[in-house]
Amino acid sequence: MCLSGYPFVKKDWFSNEGSPSPQGVTWVEEVRAFNFALYTENATGVTLLLYREDDVVRPSRELRLDYLVNRSGRVWHCRVPLTELGSAKYYAYRVEGPHDSHLGHRFDPEKVILDPYAKAVYFPPWFSREEAKRPGPNDGKAPLGFIDMKGKDFDWGDDARPRHTSDKVIYELHVRGFTMRPSSGVTPDKRGTYAGLTEKIPYLKELGVTTVELQPVFQNDPQEGSCWGYMPLNFFSLHQEYACSGIPCDQVNEFKAMVKAFHEADIEVMLDVVYNHTAEGDEDGPTYSFRGIDNTVYYLLKKDKRYYRNDTGVGNVLQTAHPCVRLMITNSLSFWAREMHIDGFRFDLASIFTRDSEGRINLTDPPIVTEIGVHPDLIDIDLVAEAWDLAAYQLGQSFPGLFWRQWNGQFRDDVRSFVRGDPGKVANLMTRIYGSDDLFPDWLDNVYHPYQSINFVTAHDGFCLYDLVSYNVKYNEANGHENKDGADYNLSWNCGWEGDDGTPAEVMELRKRQVRNFCCILFLSNGTPMMRAGDEFMNTQKGNNNPYNQDNETTWLDWDLFTRNRDIFRFFKLMIEFRKTHPTLGRSRFWRNDVGWYGTNGKADISYDSRSLAFFLDGSSERDGDIYVMINADKKNLEFIIQKGEAYEWLRVIDTSLPTPHDIRGPGEEDGVSGLIYAVKARSVVVLFRPRVRV
């Protein structure tokens, strides 16, 4: 009995007012309603807009939120029962507030504003980036969020994450560019899509890669002009152009089906993610979302507040030190890991994470790096940093993510310099092959591992591997850039003939040898190897080292070259197999006393004019055989004296100067060695293997 004399009635505040958490739009099954929540510190008013599919210009319903009812702290929220939603399928906001550029505020109450947490984005037929740049209304021309009622109907079955450690080989690719050409062999309606990528899994299995790293798949602005994906519009939704279907739910399930298929093939899926800037650009850019919700919260501004900091080089910088932005990033990562079963993330321009709210570098304890590292959904997820931005280079121990892996740009530069024949690079090469202990030292206070170094020679930035050995100058006229960067900038060498037109046979042979040399050094080095899609069959971009805006045959892989250059594909395939077969190469720890460094006839020659190096790797601690490598980057042949064992003990696995199939041999097909003096041809690598006698 109730002492007041009235029957007890449980009051559910959230049913009437909505909940401030989670942000975005959420289906609440127990009350059959959608919860909407939007964070903004400085807004004075928020209106929720609901749209039917047959009219994306005029909202079917406008819900103006009352701050006394629909605001908690700095979050505006409401709850819409399904019965009141009607046939609404899309949503957006209008956000009111001050417009004073001197204070950094750029609210425009007439603009249609996209929810940063939208799980899918719809672009109306009249969508206009230009209209979003101008003040005033852009109804019917703005991106809208999708109200998802079917997002959880995908059956993951018994999906399990693959786990690759010592055998990890990362393969960087662009979803669209990988299969757009008819020569890819992909079903026509699936070319350039997540489903098309699924069809290429047998190819990737044959090559031997263990991990695909997808260039950004976050939804970007289709009118911004960049096809690479590094200009994100939203951090929770998939880019629609990479899906067979234009229906938002379908693209989510298509992506999930792709991830599930990769996992069934024992291949990990990593995402290249961009949390350092957005597609809204600088002060002259469009107002789509963040700028119109709360400009001073989401972006780092200069002291006068009218202009944006541009440490990213693309117009703006996210304020990752702000709690709201940090929460958005960790929620996004959690979403991709938990809901989409992603296995790892490569963070573009990750040094932005170390900037405080004034733009200063904080290496002691940047909150976002710590929060990502301890988030329960990310504990067993690979975290990889591109540890630099325009103004900060934090490669190695400078970057505060102690357990993170990092793209090793120093490995790229030193290996490129040595292989093209630059003097004074032998000591640098030794350090890179060893695992870059200068960058990732295993000191007592902070013990790093060599596998934290992501070793690469090429990536989406810069020349692809074939162009690296074919061009001294970049050819980027289609981008609107001058050809001012030469070989010293790219660390390239054209092997004596610029480009492809009329290439002499002897130059082409040398280029193939240089490609094999790069491949050898990459996969013989301690650390985690990463390669760029198409390098294994000498794909070319015709000397364009920055085709970020070329959604055409410049960036679409030419699979006819796979047919033409099967000898190079075979070399990469067997080189990957060799590395995975011999755990002595990719170790958790540095080689230490297991490695011996030599020159042509004794100890290593690290003098300025030296261009040769040999090393012996004892595999006994890894229950493996021994490896002896001789590298000659000189323009003349050199005789190496093998410093270990007897000639009859050694088998030749690789000699990059020889034609296929003698350039590399598979297990059981190795050639013998006639003596302890081996003539290594100019610009060649030779690898010997000594099996361990088992007792």
Hey, which residues are catalytic here? Answer: 348, 386
Instruction: Kindly give, in sequence order, each residue whose CB lies less than 8 Å from that of residue 655, ignoring residues fewer than 6 positions away.
Output: 662, 663, 680, 681, 684, 685, 686, 687
The DSSP symbol for 361 reads B
Buried b (16+ CB within 10 A) or exposed e, 312-350: bebbbbbbbbbebbbbbbbbbbbbbbebbbbbbbbbbbb
DSSP state of 74: T
What would the two tokens of residue 267 be? 């291949």
Please provide the DSSP assignment of 8-54 as one string: -----HHHHH--S-SSEEEEEGGGTEEEEEEE-SS-SEEEEEEEETT
Kindly tell me the sign of the dihedral angle through the C-alpha atoms of 90, 95, 99, 103. negative
| Sequential DSSP letters for 230-298 | -SBS-SSSB-GGGSS-SSHHHHHHHHHHHHHHHHHTT-EEEEEE--S--TT-STTS--SSHHHHHHHHH
Pair 294, 288: CB distance under 8 Å: no
Cis peptide before 22 (omega within 30 of 0): yes
DSSP 663: S
Partners of 186 in the β-ladder: none
Residues facing residue 27 across a β-bridge: 34
- Calpha distance 300→303 (Å, rounded): 10
- Sheet of 626-632: strands edge to edge? 595-598, 612-617, 626-632, 684-690, 651-655, 671-672
* SS3 call for 429: helix
Q: Nearest 5 degrees, angle CA 180-CA 182-CA 187? A: 85
Q: CB neighbours of 368 closer than 8 A, spacing ≥ 6?
A: 320, 321, 325, 326, 329, 330, 353
User: Is-contact 651 689, C-beta < 8 A?
Assistant: yes
